[in-house]
Amino acid sequence: MEAGNAKRNKELQIRHVYKSFRVDAENLEVLRDVNLEIGEGEFVSIVGFSGCGKSTLLRLIMGLDPVTEGQISIGENEVKKPSREVGMVFQEARLFPWSSIAKNVEFGISDKSLSKQEKKEMTRKYLELVKLNGFEDAFPAQLSGGMQQRAGIARALIGNPDILLLDEPFGALDAFTRINMQNEILDIWRKENKTMLLITHDIDEAIFLSDRIVIMSERPGTIQEVIRVESARPRDRGSEEFLKIRKHILKCFLGSSDIDLEYYI
Amino acid sequence: MNKAKNKYLSFFQIIIAPVFVLLLWLAVTEAGVVNTNILPSPVKVVKTFGALIESGKLWKNLSTSFFRVLKGFALGAVSGIFIGTAMGLSGSMNKILSSLVGILRPIPMIAWIPMLILWLGIGEKSKVAVIFIGTFWPVLLNTITGILSVDGKLLEVATVLEKSRLEVLGKVVMPSATPSIITGVRLGFGTAWTCVVAAEMIAASSGIGYMITYARELSQPDVVLAGVFTIGIVGLLIDAGLLRLQKKLLRWNYLRDERK
C-alpha cells in the first residue's frame, strides 16, 4: 500500500501547459497546450527541431521558469521552483573549472545532514557508476568532453532525484563517444531506476533509449505524436522495427514518404 | 636536448635588451661622450650601490618604504575586495557607488598627496593613505569585473541544486572571480610601490624616495641611480613572486596553457 502510494507520488504530469515570452512588446508563444504523463522509471525522449520549445519545457519541469498557463506536478506537488526531486544534466557539462572532479560531483549533494565521510563515500560510489574512478583529483580541463559529461551526470545523480532531465547531453560529443554514452546511460537507468526525460535531436538516440518518443512540432511547440518503442533492450540499430520507427519520425519532420530507407543503414 | 636548447634561447631573449642598454651606457660613459657628473658610469653606480648596502643606509630606507607599502597595500586590498564584492553582487550598491567611483578614480594619486599631508601630517599616516588609494582602485575594479563575469550557466547549476546564497557565493562566485581579483592585487601592489616613492619624494624624512631626492639635492647622481634601480629591481621581484603565487593558487586556470 505504502509502496503503491510512493509510486503514484513520483509521476510527472504536464497538464495544458502554455508558455509565452514577451519579446519587444510582442507575445511570443513557445508552448501551446502541452500534455504529457510520465510514469515512474519510464524513459521518455522528446525530439523536435531546434527552437520548438523542448528546452523551454525542460526548464519549466525543472522549475527554473514559471508556466504561463497550466500545471506541472510531480505526484501531488506542483512544480514551482527547483527541487531535489528533479535532477538536470545540461548540454555542456557545466563543471566548475576550479574544482577537482570529486569536488564537482560532491557539489551535487544538497543533503546537509550527511557527514564528510558519508559524502566522500557517496562521491566515490557515483564516480564508479560513471566509470571515472581514478580521476578524482583531476581538473575538468584535463578530461575529454565525454568524461566531463560523465562527471555532470554523476553530479546530477548523487542528489538522488526521482526524475532526471537530460538536455541534449551528448549533443556536443563525437559520434563514437555518443554511442558509448548512450549505452552507459541505459546502464545507469537500469541500475538506478530513475525516470528519465531526454531531449535530443538525434532520432537514433531517441529510438535506442526510450520507452516512448514524443515528437514536437514547432512554433508554437505542441506535441504532435507519441510513439511507443516496444522492442527489448539493448536494441539493434539496424533492426526492422528500428528502421521503421526512424522512417516514421523522419516523415513527421520532413513531411514526405519518399525517403530511401536503405540510405540510412 | 631541444628543450635545453629552448631554455638557453629563452634566457638569451630575456636578458639581451637589458645587457644591450648596459653596454651602451658603459660605452658612452667610458668613451667620455657624456659628462659623468650627470650620468655616472655603471661601474660607479654599482660601487655606490655596494657602499650603500655596506653602510646599511639602503636597507634602512628600503625597509621603511617596504613596511609603508605593506600597511597601505593590506588596507587597500582588503577594502577593495570587500567593496568590490558588494558592488559586484548588488546592483543597487553598484548604482549608488558608481558615480562616486567615476569621479574619484581618474584623480592621479599624486594629486592627493598635498591634501593628505595637510590632513594627516608629514609622517607615516599620509604615506600609508596615499598607498591605500593607489592599491584600492585596481583591486576594486578587478574585483567588480571578476564578480560580474561569473558564468550564468554555472550559477544555474547551483540554482538547480538548491544551494543557499552563501554557498553560491563561496563555491561559485568567489572562486570564479579569484583570477580577476588576484590580477587586481598584483596591479595594486605595483601601484602601491610607485605611490610610496612618489609620496616620499614630495615630503618625507626617510624611505627610498627620500634617499633619491636628498641625493639629488647633494648632486650625487650615482646615489640617485642606485636608488632608482633598487626601486625597479624590488618591483620586479615582487611581481615575479606574486605571479608565482598566482600560478600556484590558480593551477586550474593555467591548465589550458600547459596542454599547448
Q: Which residue type sits at B245?
A: L
Same domain, A78 and A174: yes
Name the CATH superfamily for B45-259. Answer: MetI-like (1.10.3720.10)
pLDDT exceeding 70 applies to what percent of chain A?
92
Within the 212-251 window of chain B, which residues sit less than 8 Å (CB to CB) from chain A? 250-251
Does B153 reach chain A within 8 Å, measured CB to CB? yes
Residue A134 buriedness (CB in 10 A; 0-12 / 13-18 / 19+): exposed
Q: Which DSSP symbol is given to A221?
A: B
Tell me if A96 and B154 make a contact (CB, 8 A cut-off): yes
Q: Which residue has the higher pLDDT, A220 or B134?
A: B134
Q: What sections of chain A are H helices per DSSP?
A: 2-9, 54-62, 101-106, 116-129, 145-158, 175-192, 203-209, 240-254
Select from A143, A160, A177 the last residue of a domain.
Answer: A160
Name B163's Cβ contacts closer than 8 Å, sequence gap at least 6.
A110, B171, B172
pLDDT exceeding 90 applies to what percent of chain B?
45
Tell me if A139 and B251 make a contact (CB, 8 A cut-off): yes
Please tell me which residue of chain A has the smallest CA distance to B157.
A94
Rounded mean pLDDT, A130-141: 88
Same domain, A91 and A138: yes
Same domain, A116 and A199: no
Does B172 reach chain A within 8 Å, measured CB to CB? yes
Same domain, A69 and A135: no
> How far from the centroid of its chain's Cα atoms is residue A64's Cα?
15
Select from A139, A160, A181 the last residue of a domain.
Answer: A160
Chain segment A45-73, per-residue pLDDT in tens: 999 877 778 888 888 998 888 888 888 88
Indicate the pLDDT class of residue A7, thresholds 50, 70 and 90.
Answer: very low
> How far from the centroid of its chain's Cα atoms is residue A210's Cα?
11
Mean pLDDT of chain B: 88
Rounded mean pLDDT, A188-204: 88
Q: Which residues span the domain enclosing A113? A: 86-160
How far B189 CA sits from the closest chain A CA (Å)?
Answer: 25
How far A229 CA sits from the closest chain B CA (Å)?
Answer: 31
Interface mutation target, options B153, B160, B169, B248, chain A, most CBs of A under 10 Å: B160
Same domain, A56 and A170: yes
Does B5 reach chain A within 8 Å, measured CB to CB? no
Please tell me which residue of chain A has the smallest CA distance to B176.
A98
Cα B249 to Cα A76: distance, rounded to the nearest angstrom? 48
Chain pair A-B, CB pairs under 8 angstroms: 52
Whether the per-residue pLDDT at B143 is higher than 90: the answer is: yes
A72, β-bridge pairs: A14
Please report the ipTM that was assigned to this predicted complex. 0.81
Tell me if B162 and A82 make a contact (CB, 8 A cut-off): yes
Whether the per-residue pLDDT at A8 is higher than 60: the answer is: no
Cα B146 to Cα B109: distance, rounded to the nearest angstrom? 24
Same domain, A152 and A206: no
Given the DSSP bridges, would you call strands A77-78 and A69-74 parallel, antiparallel or unpaired? antiparallel
Give how many domains chain A has, as a whole number: 2
Residue A92 with chain B: CB contacts under 8 Å: 153
Same domain, A79 and A172: yes
Give the CATH number, domain containing residue A14.
3.40.50.300
First to last CA, chain B: 19
Whether the per-residue pLDDT at B82 is higher than 90: the answer is: yes
Rounded mean pLDDT, A199-207: 89
A221, β-bridge pairs: A31
Interface mutation target, options A94, A103, A105, A158, chain B, most CBs of B under 10 Å: A94
pLDDT at residue number B177: 93
Q: Please state the domain extents for chain B.
A: 45-259
Quickly tell me which residue has 556536443 as its cell.
Answer: A172
CA distances from A2 to A7, A73, A195, B146 (A): 9, 20, 19, 51
Q: Please tell me which of the candidates A64, A87, A99 has its beta carbon nearest to residue B159.
A: A64
Same domain, A14 and A105: no
Same domain, A124 and A169: no
Chain segment B94-108, per-residue pLDDT in tens: 889 988 999 998 888
Query: Contact A174/A147 with Cβ under 8 angstroms?
Result: no
Residue A108 with chain B: CB contacts under 8 Å: 161
Same domain, A93 and A168: no
Which range of B4-8, B56-60, B77-81 scores highest in mean pLDDT? It is B77-81
